[in-house]
Amino acid sequence: NYRESIPLKLYLGPNHYETLSAYNMELERMIPLGWGIFRWVNKYAVIPIFNWLDNSITNYGIIILIMTFIIKMALAPFTLKAYKSQAKMKVLKPEIDKINKKFEGKTDKDVMMKKQQETMGLYRKTGVNPMSGCIPMLVQMPILLAVFRFIPSSLDLRHKSFLWAEDLSSYDEIFSWSAEIPLLSSFYGNHVSLFTLLMAVSTLFYTMFNSNQMAPSQPGMPNMKVIMYIFPFMMLFFFNTYSSGLSYYYLCGNLMNLGIMWGIKKYMIDENKIRLQIEQNKKKPKKKSKFQQRMEAMAKKQQKRR
């Protein structure tokens, strides 16, 4: 009988990121930290911060709290920029409403094109960019989703308790039942997670605070305020059986966001100054960008063809 020996290497040990990385065999890729940019954020930002705090603090609830604070402070400039953009849109709302009322009930393509041109002209004249608030939010999304993958997969949090949560890597239940309830048991589970409940309530309060700063949706566009109010209710179902450490992280983040937004509104944003700046911008001659020139040229060509 022919026999051949094949050398194999087996690893029998904890699924720990630093331990696996030390072998220089890319074994750490087995840990589900996300793909692409989300994995990079975890590898070069979230995990180093977590390990740095872990070296001097033994309570993992405190570690998550401090890590949340560090991340929020790093993102504070982007939060300020997004809030300033919301404030500008709020100040500009009466003039946008006038344009919408002027073309209300008209669905002709030429009329709608003219409405779009007037709206864009108002933005250009006042120096307000309606998209400037979206970029800061896009910067924050990779960190938000990276932590979503990191905390549930972190071996350090396994069987570590904090407050009423016995295991930060699993859900925390304050009330449970054995009976199977149709639909509810399938989508929600047979228990109530307190961290998830508190996180959803804090998300609702943050939504209420933030929606006051949002400009109303344009006619024909989805009502973003309604969607934002549905979101906390959806989180109750999605996070109830998830890691309590993750719900706790989002709870801390929501409370810090409320504090940051209150501080920005109280001490950094003055709507009267923004209104004055917009009025001054109207008096300054504005050069059309090449993109705006091309858009207007295309609109004129379409009108001539008709």
What percent of the chain is predicted at pLDDT more than 90?
Answer: 13
- In angstroms, the CA 49 to CA 55 distance is 10
**In this structure, are strands 191-193 and 173-176 parallel, antiparallel, or unpaired?**
antiparallel
- In angstroms, the CA 29 to CA 198 distance is 33
pTM of the shown model: 0.76
Tens-place pLDDT, residues 205-246: 888 877 765 554 444 444 566 777 788 888 888 888 888 999
Share in percent of the chain as helix, strand, coil (round to 5): 65, 5, 30
Query: 274 pLDDT exceeds 50?
Result: yes
Tens-place pLDDT, residues 78-120: 888 878 777 777 777 788 778 777 777 666 666 677 777 777 7
- In angstroms, the CA 8 to CA 37 distance is 33
Task: Please state the separation of Cα 205 from the chain's center in Å.
Answer: 16
Is residue 33 within 8 Å of residue 21, measured between CB atoms? no
Least confident among 95-99, 125-129, 180-184:
125-129
